[in-house]
Amino acid sequence: MAEKIGQGAAYGWEVVVRQQYIEGLAGVVFGGLGVIITLVVFLTFWKMAHGYVKRGGDSEMYLGIFFLGGLSVFAIVSFAIWMYGSTLQLLNPAYYALQFFISLGTK
């Protein structure tokens, strides 16, 4: 494939490897922020529901919190999977750059 590209192959490789670092870093940051935001939202609603029930409100509020907790667990697991793939991109960008070039050759 490098023969087809010519002299720009080395430069193209460097650019794609750097792009893998950038995509990996962006994924880790996005995933981390997602986990933090999910935890903050869940804990805020948990405290609100707990305070509502302590003041004499009905305990059915906990059912909504239970549902929100399930969604929070799903979101945290999803962000963790996202961060795992992004971390792999950061640790081994050459592998993902090679995958990129191979995918170009198959199109």
CA distance 61 to 72: 16
- What is the identity of the amino acid at 93? P
pLDDT score at 81 = 92
CA distance 83 to 38: 15
pTM to 2 decimal places = 0.73
pLDDT score at 9 = 75
Q: Which of 103, 89, 80 is nearest to 22 (CA)?
A: 89
pLDDT score at 1 = 57
Residues of the chain scoring pLDDT < 50: none
pLDDT score at 59 = 66
pLDDT score at 107 = 66
Inter-residue contact 2 to 82 (CB < 8 Å): no
Q: Where are the alpha helices (DSSP H) in 2-92?
A: 2-5, 8-54, 61-91
CA distance 32 to 37: 9
Please state the domain extents for the chain. Answer: 33-100
pLDDT score at 69 = 82
CA distance 107 to 38: 39
Question: Please, what is the average pLDDT of the chain?
Answer: 84
